[in-house]
Amino acid sequence: MNKLSINYALLSTLFLGACSGSSGNAPSEPPATNTPAEITNTQQKIALNQLGYFETSSKIAIIPNVASTSFTIVDASNNEEVYSGTLSNAKNWPNAGSDSVKQADFSSLVAPGSYFIRVLGVDDSATFKIDSHVYNDLHIAAQRYFYLNRASIEIEQQFAGDFARPLGHADTNVMYHPSADEQLSTQDETLASPKGWYDAGDYGKYVVNSGISTYSLLAAFEHTPNLYAQQQLNIPESNNNIPDILDEALWNLEWLFTMQGEDGGVYHKLTTLEWPGEEMPHEDTRTRFVIGKSTSASLNFAATFAVASRVIAPFDQNKSEQYLLAAIDAWKWALEHPSQIYVQPNDVLSGEYGDNILKDEFAWAAAELFISTGVEGFFTTYKELDLEYSAPSWINVSYLSLSSLLYKAENLLSPQDYTALKDKQKALADTFVQQYQNNAYLVPIETPNLIWGSNSAALNKAMVLLQAATVQNDSQYLNVAQGIVDYILGRNPTEYSFVTGFGHKYPVNPHHRISQSDGINTAVPGMLVGGPHAGRQDDCSYEYSEPARTYSDSWCSYSTNEVAINWNAPLVYVLGMLTERK
C-alpha cells in the first residue's frame, strides 16, 4: 500500500478546541462486606458458567449462603465425587440484593469431563463441562448471528436451516431525509445503499454502531488470525479465499461504504421514520431514509475503513486502497465539520446514537489512520488529544485507539511513546482486577455499568483484559476475563445464560423482530441479550428491583432483552481470544 504524505498535523488545530473531555471511569460502589449470619437457603441456586471451562481456566462457582463450608464436584457420568474444596466466606454484592453468597474455587480440577457441584443445603448444580472445545459451537453461532441478520439478501436454507427467510430491505432506492441532504430530499433522488446488518431487534442500519461492531470483528481477525483462518461459518462466501469472519465483515463494510456523501461526510443512519412492526424483514415495506450527516458517523467510518484497508490488503489490494481513500475523505470532512452533532429530527423515531463528546472518535480515527498510512502527523494529533481511557462502547471509543496502537504500532512509535501507552492499558486493566476482587460474584461490574447493554459493557472489559494478558504478559488478567465470560454464561444473580440457545436456561423471548415473527419456537441462536439494566428504559414490568436482577426475558423488555451487533461482536472477540490463549 502506498504511504500517503499529507501533513495532517497542520490541520489538528482546526478541531482541538472543539472537543470536550471524554467520559472517565465511573466512581466505584462500596466494597462488598462479609455477612456473619449463615442460613440454609433452598430458594437460590448455584450460579455457574453453564457451558463450562477449558482445562487450564480458573473455575469458580457462586453458591448461596448455606451453612456448609465445603463443596464437592461430582462426575456426572458415574456419580463419583472427584474433587472437594472449601467455600469462601460469605460476601454480598449490593446490586444483587441483600443475600450473601460464597465462592467455590475448583480451578485445580483439570480432567476433561462432565460434572456438577454438590453443596449441602442447596440443589445440585446443573452439569457443566471441562474440555478444550467448550466454547467452539458458541463462538461459531455468535458469528453466524451476523449472517442471519443480514439485510438485502435471501437467507437460504442451506446456510440457515429453519431460519431461512426471504430477502428483506433491498435498500436500492433509499430516500434522502432533509437532515441528510435538503436539496436531494426535494428532488426525488434516491441512494442505493444495500447490504449491511440489521442493528439489533429493529431493522435500522446505523453508522456509529456499525463502526465499533465491524471494528471488533476485524480486530478479532487482526489479533488472532490463525484461529479465524481455519473457521468455517457455512455462509454463502465460505468457499472463497477470504476467511469467513472477514467475508462477514465485508458484507457490512460494503453497505457502510455507500453511506459516504460526495463531500466525504457520512450519513448518520438508514432507517424508517417509525419503528418497524412485529414482522419479518420482507414484510417491512415502509420507506427507508438516509438521515443526518454527522461528525461522529464520519469519524467512526474513517477509523473503521482505515482498519479495514490494512486487514483486507492481503486479500484484495484494490479494495484496500479504495477503503483508505474513503477513510481519509471522511477524516478531512470531520476536520472541516468538527462538531456536527447528530440531532434527532422531530419526525424520526428510530435509534439516535447521539454523542456530543467527539474527542475519543477523533483520536480513534487519528490512531487508525496513523497505523494504516504511517503518516506521523496523525500520531502528533493523537498525542495532543491526551485521552483518558475506559472500556470501549459505541459512545466512547477511546480504548480502541490504544488497543490498535499497542497491537500494530510498536515499530512506528518511539520506545517511550509505546511504553506510555502500555502503562495506560495496565492502569485500566488493573482497575477491572480491583473491581473483580471486590465483587462477591467475582465480576468487574459496578453500578454505572448496569446500563442498557450491560452485558456488552462487561464483555468490552473482557476484551481489554485479554489484550492486557498478552501485551503486559500477565495471566492474572485472563482469570478476570474468564470471570466475565462465566457471568455472561450463567454465573450471575438471574440464573440465565445470556446467549440464546446456549446453557440450560437462556433467553427465549428476545426483543428481536425476526425471532418474534418467524413462527419458530426457538429464538435465533447465538445472540447475546442486553442484560440487567437498572434504568428500566421501557414500559415493561420487572420481577426484581435489584439492579443486577433487573432483567426480563420478554419481548416488551427492549432495554434488557434486545440483541445488537455491538453486543455480539465483543462476544465473538472474547471467545476467540480466550480460545487462543487457553
Q: Which residues of the chain form contacts with ligand G3I (CB under 6 A)?
A: 199-200, 202, 204, 351-353, 395, 451-453, 535, 537, 562, 564
| Active-site residue, 486 included | no
> Quick one: 419 or 537, whose CB is closer to ligand G3I?
537
> Could you give the residue ranges of the DSSP H alpha helices within 446-545?
454-471, 476-488, 513-517
Residue 497 beta carbon to ligand G3I: minimum distance, rounded to whole angstroms:
20
Beta-strand ranges (E) seen in 163-253 are 174-176, 190-191, 205-206
Among the candidate windows 50-58, 73-81, 195-203, 574-582, which touches ligand 9MR by CB under 6 A?
A: 195-203
Instruction: Give φ, ψ of 491 to 5 degrees.
Output: -85, 65
Total of residues contacting ligand 9MR (CB under 6 A): 7
Distance CA 489, CA 496 (A): 7
Closer residue to ligand G3I in complex, CB, 244/562: 562
Q: How many residues does the chain have?
A: 582
Cα(136)–Cα(215) distance, rounded to whole angstroms?
22
Q: Which is nearer to ligand G3I, 10 or 349 (CB)?
A: 349
Q: Quickly tell me which residue has 428532488 as its cell.
A: 187
Distance CA 485, CA 50 (A): 10
Q: Could you write out the DSSP letters of every residue in 87-102? A: PPPPEE-GGG-S-EEE
Q: Which of ligand 9MR, ligand G3I, none does residue 222 bind (CB under 5 to 8 Å by kind)? A: none
What part of residues 378-417 is at the interface with ligand 9MR (CB under 6 A)? none
Compare residues 202 and 553 and give the one whose CB is closer to ligand 9MR: 202
Closer CB to ligand 9MR, residue 483 or residue 510?
A: 510
Nearer Cβ to ligand G3I (265/351): 351
Find which of ligand 9MR, ligand G3I, none residue 327 binds, CB within 5 to 8 Å per kind.
none
535 binds, among ligand G3I, ligand 9MR, none (CB under 5 to 8 A by kind): ligand G3I
Annotated catalytic residue within 171, 181, 284, 562: 562
How many other CB atoms are there within 10 angstroms of residue 65's CB atom? 24
Least separation in angstroms between residue 448's CB and ligand G3I is 7
| Residue 530 lies near ligand 9MR (rule: CB under 6 A) | no
* Shortest spacing between CB 276 and ligand 9MR, in angstroms: 8
- First-to-last CA distance in the chain? 35
Q: Is 284 a catalytic residue?
A: no
Which of 46, 35, 58, 14 minimizes the C-alpha distance to 479? 58
Contact between residue 564 and residue 453 where contact means Cβ atoms under 8 Å apart: yes
* Residue 275 interacting partner from ligand 9MR, ligand G3I, none (CB closer than 5 to 8 Å by kind): ligand 9MR
Written as one letter, the residue type at 73 is I
Q: Which of residues 343-372 bind ligand 9MR (CB under 6 A)?
A: 351
Q: Using CB under 6 A as the criterion, what x/- string covers residues 196-225 for binding ligand 9MR?
A: ----xxx-----------------------
Q: Using CB distances below 5 to 8 A depending on partner kind, what does residue 311 bind out of ligand 9MR, ligand G3I, none? A: none
DSSP per residue, 560-574: HHBBBHHHHHHHHHH
CB of 278 to ligand 9MR, least distance (A): 7
Instruction: Measure the CA angle with vertex 311, ends 306 and 315; round to 5°.
Output: 125
Q: How far is it, in rounded angstroms, from Cα 293 to Cα 330?
A: 11
Q: Which of 202, 361, 368, 486 is catalytic?
A: 202
Q: Which is nearer to ligand G3I, 23 or 68 (CB)?
A: 23
CA distance 282 to 284: 6
Query: What is the gyration radius of the CA atoms in the chain, in angstroms?
Result: 24
Which range binds ligand 9MR by CB under 6 A, 73-81, 108-116, 194-202, 238-246?
194-202
- Torsion angle in degrees (nearest 10) through CA of 185, 191, 194, 200: -20
Q: Retrieve residue 151's grid coordinates.
A: 439485510
Question: Angle 355-360-363 (CA atoms, 0-180°, nearest 5)?
Answer: 140
C-alpha cell of 272? 424508517
**Identity at 169, one-letter amino acid code:** H
Q: Kindly list the distances between the CA atom of residue 504 and the CA atoms of 300, 495, 555, in Å, as whole numbers in the listed order.
A: 38, 9, 20
- Between 109 and 273, CB nearer to ligand 9MR: 273
Among 197, 222, 562, 578, binds ligand 9MR (CB under 6 A): 562
- Selected from 93, 364, 506, 558, the binder of ligand 9MR by CB under 6 A is 558
Tell the smallest beta-carbon distance from residue 248 to ligand 9MR (Å): 22
Q: Using the minimum distance from each CB to ligand G3I, give the nearer residue, 457 or 485.
A: 457
**How near is the Cβ of 452 to ligand G3I at its closest, in Å?**
4
171 as an active site residue: the answer is no
**CA-to-CA dists, residue 582 to 131, 479, 575, angstroms:** 11, 11, 11
Catalytic residue list contains 202: yes
99's contact among ligand 9MR, ligand G3I, none, with CB below 5 to 8 A by partner kind, is none
Among 53, 163, 228, 275, binds ligand 9MR (CB under 6 A): 275
Which residue is nearest to ligand G3I, using beta carbons? Answer: 351
User: Residue 200, exposed/middle/buried by CB under 10 A (0-12, 13-18, 19+)?
Assistant: buried
Distance (Å, whole) CA 572 – CA 582: 16
Whole-number minimum distance, CB 304 to ligand G3I, in Å? Answer: 18
Instruction: Choose from ligand 9MR, ligand G3I, none: what does 444 bind? Cβ within 5-8 Å by kind.
Output: none
100 vs 149, beta carbon nearer ligand G3I: 149
Look at residue 116 and give the partner it binds from ligand 9MR, ligand G3I, none, a contact being a CB closer than 5 to 8 Å depending on partner kind: none
Q: Which does 445 bind (CB under 5 to 8 A by kind): ligand 9MR, ligand G3I, none?
A: none
Nearest CA among 525, 386, 501, 390 for reference residue 451: 390
Catalytically annotated residue among 139, 169, 177, 511: 511
Count Cβ neighbours within 10 Å for each residue of 171-192 and write b for 16 or more, e otherwise. beebbbbebbbeebbeeeebbe
Task: Determine the residue with CB nearest ligand 9MR.
Answer: 202
Catalytic machinery residues: 202, 511, 553, 562
Binding site for ligand 9MR (CB under 6 A): 200-202, 275, 351, 558, 562
